[in-house]
Chain A
Amino acid sequence: MELIPKLLNDKNIILTGCNRGIGEKTLEQLAKNGANVWACTRKISQEDITKYDTLENSFHIKIWPITLDLSNSESINEAIKEIRIFKIPIDGLINNAGITYNALFQMSSISMIKEVFEINLFSQILFTQFVLKLMLRNNSGSIVNISSTAGIDANLGRSIYGASKAAMICITKAIAREVGEKGIRINSIAPGITQTDMIKSMSNEIIEETRQLTQLKRLGEPIDIANVCVFLLSELSSYLTGQVIRVDGGLKI
């Protein structure tokens, strides 16, 4: 079997939303590439622990489970405290956790709007502020925000979700300017339609229609996004910052 080069050997990465979908696959790919990971999830189940143990043993890396509930600022503070105790450099952060919301503008309730923005934007801003403070001490690091093509294309029924993702894109570009000189890069990935629980509610008909709207004629898989995360965290992207990379198979809705 040929040796696959480890793009993140000995790097320590924080990943949110690890237990399913894009996060789950990204955790695997980080481990495969030699990284240790602070795996942040809202709850830590026995199933999660078993998964982490398997990855640790298979790839000789460490996975440190962290409880992080983005709807609760106390939880964010606690999580950062836990990570700080390690006193090791933070080489990367992937802001992946988030919720979806699909509703026509006139039917978007204010409570849902607040919830979407709380979890997809405000909490992530807070968490990133803390992590960035720690990264700045080492004058190095790479941050990846998982946005969405909905944040750029503003699709039907995605005004609120899209707005929360678009805000993250703007923040990505602004932060890039502020911390670039200190050696920290920050980029966004805009996935198109990826096969995760988030699209479970789509009917087979709509899934087929969407498939046809991509140039590569297939929906995205979590690994498609995970691979680009690895690339953006690695030295391969060393001159790349402040960018939004669409990973959408050429989606045109």
Chain B
Amino acid sequence: MLKNKNIIITGCLSGIGHATMENFSKNGANLWACFQKESPDVYKSIDNLTSKYNIWIEPLFFDFLDPDKIKEAVLKIRHKKQIINGLVNIAGITKDSIFHMIKMDDIKETFEINFNSQILFTQYISKLMLRQNYGSIIFTSSITAFDGNMGQLSYGASKSALISAVKTLSIELSPKGIRVNAVAPGVIDTEMTRKAKEEQINNIINKTSLKRIGLPEEVANIYMFLCSELSSYITGQIIRIDGGLN
């Protein structure tokens, strides 16, 4: 479904990011895969995918807390002189803590990674997309942005900020052919989720219509849909992928 498209994915070390990398490779996309840290496992999985699916994957290693490294990554992407069909922003952190025990520094760091640096990276990449008059940009929000969640004030607020950004970016960039949307995942089976209290997670799962946890591949499929031509008239939207939780 993504044959010959060149797509940037951030947060490839995460459960959803990794599933997205695999899914996109399987569907014929070439990737710039962004990881926070280098490791032999990373190279192994990349080799596995490139040989299996006959696509290229350029790994980029940088921390979203370092604006210089972000810029370096963008220059490397630009250097390849290839069309950038899509950008999937998945990287993000959570520092769960009940309201009265939240440190200001944690709020700042959460916003720095989940919002500020995502916007900075997107600012650079969309500049390159503007020359193509074409592109699809996706942000990862969360149901917490809409519904709130115990212990997730900073996370939820930062994910909510992305929703507003999507709407404004869509107004500014869609007339130039760049679609901007966000995906708001519910409870998905990832390491981030497994760190949370089991009781809290089960409570939410019981409230879903499908009565089960979501899989990273299921979120990856929505990213794929939004990067493909199937969604070419969809922009400025936030799609909840939550097993029917609203």
A residues whose Cβ falls under 8 Å from a Cβ of B: 2, 5, 173, 176-177, 179-181, 183, 185, 192, 215-217, 220-221, 224-225, 227-228, 230-231, 235-243, 245-250
**A81 nearest CB across to chain B (Å):** 30
Quick one: which of B170-220 are within 8 Å of A by CB? 170-171, 174-175, 177, 179, 186, 208-211, 214-215, 218-219
Contact (Cβ within 8 A) A240 B241: yes
The verdict on A239 contacting B224 (CB below 8 Å), with A228-B230, A250-B174, A250-B236 known, is: no
| 6 shortest interchain CB distances as A-B pairs | A180-B209, A215-B174, A224-B233, A242-B244, A239-B218, A241-B244
Known: A215-B235, A242-B245. 18 other contacts (CB 8 A): A2-B3, A180-B244, A185-B210, A215-B174, A216-B233, A227-B230, A231-B230, A231-B231, A236-B225, A238-B218, A238-B221, A239-B243, A240-B239, A241-B244, A242-B246, A243-B239, A245-B237, A245-B239
A237 to B224, CA, bound (A): 11
Q: Is B48 an interface residue (CB 8 A)?
A: no
Q: Which of B210, B235, B241, B242 has the most A CB atoms < 10 Å from its CB?
A: B210
**B179 nearest CB across to chain A (Å):** 7
Residues of chain A within 8 A of B245, CB atoms compared? 242
Q: Is B77 an interface residue (CB 8 A)?
A: no
CB closest chain-A residue, reference B220? A236
Residues of chain A within 8 A of B240, CB atoms compared? 240, 243
Q: Is B222 an interface residue (CB 8 A)?
A: yes
Q: Is B232 an interface residue (CB 8 A)?
A: yes
A212 to B171, CA, bound (A): 12
Residues of chain A within 8 A of B1, CB atoms compared? 5
Q: Is B130 an interface residue (CB 8 A)?
A: no
Q: Is B65 an interface residue (CB 8 A)?
A: no
Contact (Cβ within 8 A) B175 A215: yes
Q: Is B38 an interface residue (CB 8 A)?
A: no
Contact (Cβ within 8 A) A236 B219: no
Contact (Cβ within 8 A) B225 A231: yes
Q: Which residue of the partner chain, among B211, B221, B237, contacts A246 with CB atoms under 8 Å?
A: B237
A173 to B244, CA, bound (A): 8
**B126 nearest CB across to chain A (Å):** 14
Contact (Cβ within 8 A) B231 A236: no
Contact (Cβ within 8 A) B224 A249: no
**B140 nearest CB across to chain A (Å):** 14
Q: Mark B26-69, 1 if CB is under 8 A from A, else 0.
A: 01000000000000000000000000000000000000000000
The verdict on A180 contacting B222 (CB below 8 Å), with A215-B170, A231-B230, A242-B244 known, is: no
CB closest chain-B residue, reference A214? B174
**B138 nearest CB across to chain A (Å):** 14
Contact (Cβ within 8 A) B209 A241: yes
Contact (Cβ within 8 A) B209 A247: no
CB closest chain-A residue, reference B229? A227
Could you write out 28 A-B pairs with CB less than 8 Å apart? A177-B209, A180-B208, A181-B209, A181-B210, A185-B244, A215-B170, A215-B235, A216-B174, A216-B233, A217-B174, A224-B232, A227-B232, A228-B231, A231-B225, A236-B224, A238-B218, A239-B214, A239-B218, A239-B241, A239-B242, A240-B239, A243-B246, A245-B237, A247-B233, A249-B233, A250-B171, A250-B174, A250-B235
Contact (Cβ within 8 A) A247 B236: no
Q: Is B150 an interface residue (CB 8 A)?
A: no
Contact (Cβ within 8 A) B224 A217: no
Q: Is B120 an interface residue (CB 8 A)?
A: no
CB closest chain-B residue, reference A192? B233
Contact (Cβ within 8 A) A241 B239: no
Residues of chain B within 8 A of A217, CB atoms compared? 174-175
Q: Which residue of the partner chain, among A181, A243, A250, contacts B170 with CB atoms under 8 Å?
A: A250
A160 to B12, CA, bound (A): 48
CB closest chain-A residue, reference B236? A250
